[in-house]
Homo-oligomer: A and B are copies of this chain.
Amino acid sequence: MAGSRLKFFGWGCEGEGMTPEEEAFALKIHRERFGVEEFASLPVPGLDELRLRAPRLRPPASLAALCSTERYDRAAHAFGKSYPDTARGMLNDYESAPDVVAFPATEGDVAAVMDWTGTAGAMLVPFGGGSSVVGGVTVDAARERPLVTLDLSRLGKVLEFDRASRAARIEGGAFGPALEAQLKRHGVTLRHFPQSFAHSTLGGWIATRSGGHFATLTTHIDDFVESLRIVTPAGTFETRRLPASGAGPSPDRMLIGSEGILGVITQAWMRVQDRPKYRAGGAVRFKDFHAAASAVRAIAQAALYPSNCRLLDAQEACDTGAGDGSAAILVLGFESADHPLDAWMGRALECCRDHGGVPERTEGAEAHREGAAGLWRNAFIRMPYARERMVPRGIITDTFETAVTWDRFEAAHAAITRATADAIRTATGRPGQVTCRFTHVYPDGPAPYFTFHALGRHGALLEQWRAIKKAAGDALLAAGGTITHHHAVGRDHRPWYDRQRPNLFAEALRAAKRVLDPQGVLNPGVLIDP
């Protein structure tokens, strides 16, 4: 943002990326991890080298001013930010590139582009920041049928603010930083800070059930949605703005998580927060990961509701610089705009001590920015910039996540870790690394988030990634987890999603889609086959 345009390859905007020091540090760790001296490196094709088909359709004159068939625009909308997306970009496989990119400035524009796409027999893919890591905007079907991508970045305004109810009406294309800047003028904040915060939009968060800042209670964007406004091929509608309702199945809940297959979210009334004035937080060390998990369970079941309750296993703490690898680290934090949090933090630390936890530091309003917590936070924000540098070196680093009930967690953690590590060894011929953290926790279970590193081989990277991904997905489903807690389904998670959701629910969703999108224009291949 900030005047700069998104890279067509890699994370963030042009001019952004790993510093030389960050890159050297990452490579050093990978060298030690894989026991190699150097990495065979492939070049990444430049914009002029990309193999893009000639656009197969042209917008009508009335929409021409909103539309682009420029090489850059098409390339920058061909992919999300998943591992295979990045690998395919490197391999100059731009089959998923749209024929046309439309930049609507109004809700009327959205409807007009949608109508045209239907009439033209094309597909339409809503595009916020393009940060999907599950193939949500990567349309393989573009091989067979023309594709229009609808870039919503011009719909970025906070339109209205209701101080009494602490709610704001916000356009769907608002990016995280611009949204927060506008809310700040009113002294409030949405406090939804996914890792993709700078490069993703409100509409995208809602469409994908994005997981955010709060580790407990209001973990998903879902909880902040007061009402939605959506453009579908069958018409535009909005849900009623209410603090709560008991009138039938929630219309919002049908749209939240619909991943662009039912319509385009153009506006939402969102519940916002006063800016925190009080903070308590710090890190707690545990010799044993499962003892730490028990402490987290106690905290989650105590109804204390920390905003941060992120548990890193020893290796992940080490990899992110938050620990030395000898202990698991729990990053714990409370925040409030209303009251001091000593009682809350005090009791949470008691839960930690009950399970052998040793607090690193707990004092001071700025504790959350320092120590292990601060180191981890910085690593978290910088992490996505690594992929574009590592993929060309044949390094396969990816993450996947789930949620599972506590009774199954220990077995699930062991089975998923083992299956992924085994698959890395089988697929790549050498050991890799699998680590785990908790991103969010609930009274009835945690949301474990796994990171793996493997050294792949050029020419086989996608196949190797698929083998590892399959083993991990199969293991987490077999262990009782969900295929995704907050990365969404997209196209990459379809095989497991299809196994976990009831068939009759999929049929009901298909029927609902036929009502809202009778021609099957919207984001085909995501969630269901129309």
- A interface residue numbers (CB < 8 A to B): 162-167, 208-211, 217, 219-220, 226, 232, 234-235, 237-251, 253-259, 271, 274, 297, 301-305, 336-339, 342-344, 347, 403-407, 440, 442-447, 480-489, 493, 497, 500-505, 507-512, 514-516, 527
Among candidates B167, B246, B338, B505, residue contacting A488 with C-beta atoms closer than 8 Å = B246
Name the distance in Å between A220's Cβ and chain B's nearest Cβ.
7
B239 touches A248 (CB 8 A): no
In the complex, what distance in Å separates the CA atom of A482 from the CA atom of B252?
A: 14
Besides A165-B444, A237-B502, 18 other CB < 8 A contacts? A164-B406, A167-B444, A235-B504, A239-B501, A243-B444, A244-B447, A244-B485, A247-B500, A249-B257, A250-B256, A251-B501, A253-B254, A271-B443, A302-B336, A339-B347, A510-B515, A511-B512, A512-B512
Q: Would A239 and B505 be within 8 Å (CB), given that A209-B246, A347-B338 are in contact?
A: yes
In the complex, what distance in Å separates the CA atom of A507 from the CA atom of B513?
A: 10
In the complex, what distance in Å separates the CA atom of A297 from the CA atom of B247?
A: 23
What residues of chain B lie closer than 8 Å to A164, measured between beta carbons?
297, 405-407
Name the distance in Å between A494's Cβ and chain B's nearest Cβ.
10
Among candidates B217, B234, B404, B482, residue contacting A247 with C-beta atoms closer than 8 Å = B482
Copies of this chain, whole number: 2
In the complex, what distance in Å separates the CA atom of A337 from the CA atom of B403?
A: 25
23 A-B residue contacts at CB 8 Å? A163-B407, A164-B406, A164-B407, A208-B246, A217-B217, A237-B505, A238-B502, A242-B403, A242-B404, A243-B404, A244-B482, A246-B484, A246-B486, A247-B257, A247-B497, A248-B501, A249-B254, A249-B258, A271-B443, A302-B336, A342-B343, A511-B514, A511-B515
A245 touches B403 (CB 8 A): yes
A239 touches B502 (CB 8 A): yes
Residue of B nearest to A336 (CB): B303
